[in-house]
Structure 1
Amino acid sequence: MSKWFSNKFSWLGMLVASFIAVSFVFCILPAFKHMPTNTQNLPIVIVNQDNQQISDKVADGLKDNLPFKHISTSSSLSRTKHRIELRKASLAVVIPDGFNKDVRAGKRPTVNFVVNNANSMVQTNVNQGLISRIQSTVNAQLTQQSLVGMYAKQLAPKMMKTAMATGMKTAMQKAMTASKGQAVNQKQIQKQVQAKVQPKIQKQVMARATKMAAPFNITAKSSTDTMGTKQVNMQHQMAPMFISMGQYLGLMIASIIITMTFMSVRFIAGKWKTFLGLQVTGVITAVVLALLTVGALRCLVSFDGGVFNALLWQNVLYDFAAFELTSGLALLFGGLPSLLIQLPLFVLQIMAGGGTLPRAAMTSFYKFLSQTTPMYQNIYSSYNIMANLGNTGAFQQTLWWVALGGLVIGSLAVWIGYRGKERRGLAAVIPTKF
């Protein structure tokens, strides 16, 4: 028993478990430090296609009353949709042509929304809540502007006519008395009376119209244009994150095992031939893993052959990039010790990957990781492919750069290091026949 406890490997399991637990605490929880307030960073676009008095006031009211830091206006729906497709905007509020006319006629106007359904769970939920809030804000604007304006338009002529009649009678009497029987300029007196009466009547009209409108509500109709293929359940939304996590974790472990095999076999075949074998194994692993993963996903989630092929190619590229990165780090840090770097990097990518938090709501550190690590690229490429949105080029380009960076790190590690002639330490963990 004493020999068991004196063996340092007896405690390795406890140390690894402790390190994993602490990594999850320190790498995941900080991502939620500024939530939900960081959702205010999601960009919102107001598209005013009507550009009339009431629609302008509604657009201004939305900008003033929504708790979002990045609210812009646009007159082009096509450009706005392209921004949403590229995730440079989270949601668009569209005030269509004829909005002002419908309100003036007492009809229910329409407000349209445009969202991208191929997004993270948090962003999808925020968009749904935002649509409800915008509807309430627009309805409040309509109550103040449409009903009051409609009643004021009806009341103004009658009240002005009555006030002018009373004012003219009094003014004419005073003018006739002052002129001592001479003719008076009736048109001039009418202008004077109108200038005096009109401001008072306008205040009275608005006060009375506001009082009349108080018991009633005019509500706007709404419709939502969802960009991308509509999904029947949350499997489509969650699949990109989980397949990316599973493949990356598998490749990270595989790269460490393969690297430790390299550390042992290099004494037989030489380090460069063994390194070439490592690379070939990585390519084969990337293809097989992507085929198995996408095939398993196809058993659970329905999509056509075109989506399957695009998703397969995307995940082969992702697996290749992930393998090059993880194997490069494994070679650099001598196999198993690289877990001290690789495990936290994997956990950080869970949050920086965008499957839970939208990129606009991340802190600057996680935003940087999302730009430079493979998981984010695959999650959002897979979102776009499964929703038939395309736009995977920029993500795939980043994956090629990650793969190249990992290959360079691994090559430099092999070139500079691994010069020992004696097989010992971690190099002897995996047995090799001479």
Structure 2
Amino acid sequence: MEVLSKFLKSNGVLLASLVTIVYGVLVFFIYFSGYKPLPTHIKDLPITIVSTNNQNNELQKQIKTSLKSFKHVNETSNITSAKKDLRNRETFMIVEIPHNFTERVSANKQANLNFYINDANQSLVVSGLKNIANNIGTAVNTGIMLQKSKAIMSKAMTQQLMQNNQADLAQAQAQIASLPASQQKAATQQLEQQQAKQQAVVNDKVNTAFDGVDNSVKTNIKEVNKISTGINNSMAPFFISLASYLAALIGTLLLYGTYVKFTAFNGRFKSFAAMETAMLILSIFGGIIVTLTVIPLTSAKWDNFLAVLVAHSLEFWGAYNLNAVFILLLGQIGAALNILLTMLQVVAGAGMVPVQIMTPFFKGIHALSPMYYSIMSDYDLLYGNGAYSLWLGALSIIIGYLVLNSVIVYFKKKQPMLDFSKLA
């Protein structure tokens, strides 16, 4: 019991208790607040309505009204420009009203209502937008059905009144009454049969008119940058970027131990330069391994091999240097803070939540996350048309972390090394 009592009162157990409390609360809070925008804040994403025919103005107004809960609804007649915005994530869904939409509906023919959604986005966002597209299509179809029903019923009732006017009926009944009693029953039956035939004619006309009304509008969802079915495919950019970052986190800790050992004989500046060179080499090596893994698994094009390699090499290099900040400042204990940074980047990296609907805190830090640039690059390079605009941002933060680490090495003359045996 004495040994157990001393063990429980040791610094190691106290620190472990503190970590349990802090991480248990903080990690929950990070995810709880970070994923709060989903799914309700999907309506904060920009939507574009495209129409090229003035005859469709009434429907365009109806669709805009159905999208009134969305904060940003743009209207244009240029589908090419809208598709470009969709690929650049400046809009997240296009509702296209075809030029001949009103003409086909008026002719009682099925008309398409087209929805363009960029599959190369967060899976929850894509599925949410597809549900919204189906709801809009159903609402439009219902509205058109009601309009047609009014016209059809009005026409059918007019025909029925003309065929079954009261004067003719009264005259027929008077003639039956003037007949001998033995003939009235047969005459009455004959009149009822005539009325039934007339009603059948009316019913046939109504059924013919209603034919196709329940399918007046077809919701046609067109997937841009289509991703293979399965959440493993839609989440692949997030999974591979997180795996790469975790590898860099552990790698930084191991490289720091070698750095400390070398500073004793070669000085901290030469050792720091050697560590950074090793980080660069490992980043390229890691980028090759990741690229050779992710391209075949996602059935992406090998044409983008070099682009994916550069994107993930930049992520590795940025991750090494970001994790090195706290390690150089605090030694191995800095790894605890690096784990916290990783948890923050799970949200800020935009693998699950688009930047446009993030809470202010995560929106503010997303640009500092190496994971953000690799995740968004993967969505474009693995499933899109190939975009390299994010490379400059990734390189900028790497330079920033390099400068910061250089300053730390310059002022930090002693390299802390944690001796876990002293925690007792």
Change (3 A) 1:29 1:144: same
Candidates 271, 281, 304, aligned match of 1:274: 271
Matches within 5 A, 1:388-427: 388-393=384-389, 395-418=390-413, 420=414, 426=417
Counterpart-to-counterpart distance in 2, 1:99 and 1:135: 13
Which whole-Å CA distance do the structure 2 matches of 1:275 and 1:48 have between them? 60
Residue 33 of structure 1 deviates from its aligned partner by 3.0
1:153-302 alignment, distance < 5 Å? 217=214, 219-298=216-295, 300-302=297-299
Q: Cα distance 1:307–1:104, how it changes in 2: closer, same or farther (>3 A)?
A: same
Correspondence 1:314 to 2:305: no
* Matches of 1:94 and 1:334, distance apart in 2: 56
**Does the residue aligned with 1:334 lie in a helix, a strand or coil?**
helix
| Residue 401 (structure 1) shift | 0.7
Counterparts in 2 of 1:124 and 1:222: CA distance versus 1, 3 Å: same
Q: Percent identity?
A: 24
Other structure's SS at 2:330 match: coil
User: RMSD over aligned Cα, in angstroms?
Assistant: 2.9
Q: Structure 2 CA distance, aligned partners of 1:392 and 1:244? A: 17
Contact map agreement 2:298 2:382 (CA 8 A) in 1? no
For 1:8 and 1:91, how far apart are their aligned partners in 2? Answer: 55
Secondary structure of the 1:335 match is helix
- Assess, with a 3 A threshold, how the Cα gap between structure 1 residues 72 and 147 changes in structure 2: closer, same or farther: farther
CA spacing shift, 1:93–1:50, aligned 2, 3 Å: same
1:59 — aligned with what? 60
**8 Å CA contact 1:307, 1:388 repeated in 2:** no
| Distance in 2 separating the partners of 1:344 and 1:33 | 19
- Asked if residue 384 in structure 1 is aligned to residue 380 in structure 2, the reply is yes
Q: Give the CA deviation at 1:244.
A: 0.8
Secondary structure of 1:426's partner?
A: coil
Instruction: Identify if the C-alpha distance between structure 1 residues 389 and 136 changes in structure 2 by more than 3 Å, giving closer, same or farther.
Output: same
Alignment counterpart, residue 369 of structure 2, candidates 359, 367, 373: 373
3-state SS in 2 of match to 1:72: strand
State the match for 2:80 in structure 1: 78
Query: Residue 295 of structure 2 contacts residue 301 of structure 2 at CA under 8 Å; is this kept in 1?
Result: no
- Give the residue type in structure 2 aligned to 1:338: G
Q: CA deviation at 1:58?
A: 1.2
The count of aligned residue pairs is 368
Q: Which amino acid aligns with 1:305?
A: W
Superposed displacement of residue 412, structure 1: 0.4
Are the aligned partners of 2:300 and 2:383 in contact in 1 as well (CA < 8 Å)?
no
Is structure 2 residue 102 aligned with structure 1 residue 107?
no
- Residues 318, 398 of structure 2: 8 Å contact kept: yes
> Once the 2 structures are TM-superposed, how far is the Cα of residue 233 of structure 1 from its aligned partner?
3.1
Q: Specify which of 351, 356, 359 is matched with residue 355 of structure 2.
A: 359
Question: Do 2:38 and 2:353's aligned partners in 1 also have CA atoms closer than 8 Å?
Answer: no
2:306 is matched by which residue type in structure 1?
N
12-21 vs 58-67, which moves further: 12-21
Go from structure 1 to structure 2 and tell me whether the alpha carbon gap of 1:24 and 1:262 turns closer, same or farther (over 3 Å shift): same
Task: Give, in angstroms, the shift of residue 428 of structure 1.
Answer: 6.7
Please name the residue that 1:48 is paired with.
51
**Residue number in structure 2 paired with 1:8:** 11
Residues 333 and 418, structure 2, Cα contact 8 Å, conserved in 1:
no
**CA shift for structure 1 position 14:** 4.9
Amino acid at match of 1:36: P
Give the direction of change, closer, same or farther, for the CA distance of 1:34–1:314 in structure 2 (3 Å limit).
closer
Q: Work out whether residues 147 and 218 of structure 1, in 8 Å CA contact, stay in contact via their aligned partners in 2.
A: no
Matched, 1:335 2:331: yes
Output the TM-score relative to the length of structure 1.
Answer: 0.77
Whole-angstrom CA distance in 1 between matches of 2:268 and 2:292: 36
**2:57 partner SS:** helix
CA distance in 1, matches of 2:272, 2:418: 14
User: Which amino acid is the alignment partner of residue 57 of structure 2?
Assistant: D
Q: So what's the TM-score if we normalise by structure 2?
A: 0.78
Can you give the 5+ residue segments of structure 1 that lack an aligned partner in the other structure?
160-208
Match of 1:184 in 2: none
C-alpha distance 339-149 of structure 1, shift in aligned 2 (>3 A): farther
